[in-house]
Amino acid sequence: MVDFNETLWEIDEHTKAKHTILDKYLKAWFPILSKKSSTLVYIDGFAGPGEYKGGEPGSPIIALKAALEHKHKDKFKKIAFWFIECRDDRCEHLRNKIASLGDLPSNFHVEVTCGRFDEELSKILDELEREGASLNPTFCFVDPFGYTETGGPKILGKILKFPKCEVLLTYMVGFMDRGAYDPDKCKTICREWDFSEEDINKIINTKSMESREMQWIDALKNKLIKASGSDLRHLAFCVKGYNNRTLYYLVYFTKHIKGIEVMKEAMFKTGKTGQYKFSDYNFKQTNLLDYSNELWQNECADIIYEHFRGSIQKTEDVKNWVILETPYIWRSGILIKLEEEGKITRVIGRPRRFTYPDNAYIEFK
């Protein structure tokens, strides 16, 4: 049994999956946003000690290394890493782990704050509000053990209000879904996420578990849309435990299609089914999705054709449709397949055969 009271605890397979997603995403996020912004902010609001019992790196070290070991790191401008952790022993361990990385480049600004995420964020966000200032492009990782202390829509919504700010949340759907029948836990859930008891009753009276899980996510998204006043998009990665029960969803909220595109790549490559599901239960039995296997591309080609047959579309619109409306990631090879099968009859505005620039027009048979 893992003891979460010790300074360090043992890592499990689903945490490794979470870390893989974080690592893959940040390796893309740092260079993309560095091109456009003079300062990027990475907040890890529930940072932990930076290490697991077996020596595996914790999320703060994964984030630092994603930037530090990046092949384009010399082109990065300022990156401010802000790690918040409420326990003194874990803060101290984290500071030592960061020190063990050696001298960091001068454009890396690292701060470990021993405090509570909601209180620390409130201070900064209130100050920005008073000054009428904006938050720099920020990726905020919110990774609590349970479903409380995140600051809920009040804090997360305020972060999402700013342009180019996004949130990756460990959202304890499984625990909430099982706990919501208990009146005390139901009150706690309502307080945390600003849900009404009516919202919760509607969810827990739905029979299908999968549909309840989607409703938990939608309910939160609606609260965040209201609190941020922004048109949010989201992606969710389901994490199951050894008994194949849902533990939590890793939910990513952003306002930008590019963010969805990049996070989808990270989740797709980490998941096995292409539907962003990862389960410790399956882990023992199957290998990770063979990403080079082209079967998923055939399925994606079929649904593109079903959706667009008989029409002319801009490549960019087809691509965005795949990114936003299907479980698949984007590969231009999918269009090559359709063209070879005669399902694309013409492409207007391209330099060479079998190329599909964003602004070219594709005629579907």
Residues in contact with ligand SAM by CB under 6 A are 46-48, 58-59, 84-87, 90, 116-117, 143-145, 149
The nearer residue to ligand SAM, 30 or 46, going by C-beta atoms, is: 46
Q: Of the two residues 47 and 180, which places its CB atom closer to ligand SAM in the complex?
A: 47
Which residue has tokens 């938990």?
216
**CB closer to ligand SAM, 119 vs 194:** 119
Give the Cβ contact number of residue 30 at 10 Å. 21
Burial of 300 (0-12, 13-18, 19+ CB in 10 A): buried
Min CB(69)–ligand SAM separation in Å: 18
**Contacts with 237 (C-beta within 8 Å, 6 or more apart), sequence order:** 17, 21, 249, 250, 251, 252, 267, 270, 271, 276, 277, 278
CB contact at 8 A, 82 and 61? no
Shortest distance in whole angstroms from residue 311 CB to ligand SAM: 45
327 in helix, strand or coil? coil
**Beta carbon nearer to ligand SAM, 62 or 79:** 62
Pick 90 or 240: Cβ nearer ligand SAM: 90
Residues 6+ apart with CB under 8 A from 117: 45, 46, 84, 86, 142, 144, 149, 150, 151, 155
Q: Quick one: DSSP state of residue 1?
A: -
- What is the distance between the alpha carbons of residues 168 and 44, in angstroms, rounded to a whole number? 10
Query: Which is closer to ligand SAM, CB of 59 or CB of 215?
Result: 59
Q: Hey, is 57 helix, strand or coil? A: strand
Q: Minimum CB separation from ligand SAM for residue 257, in Å?
A: 27
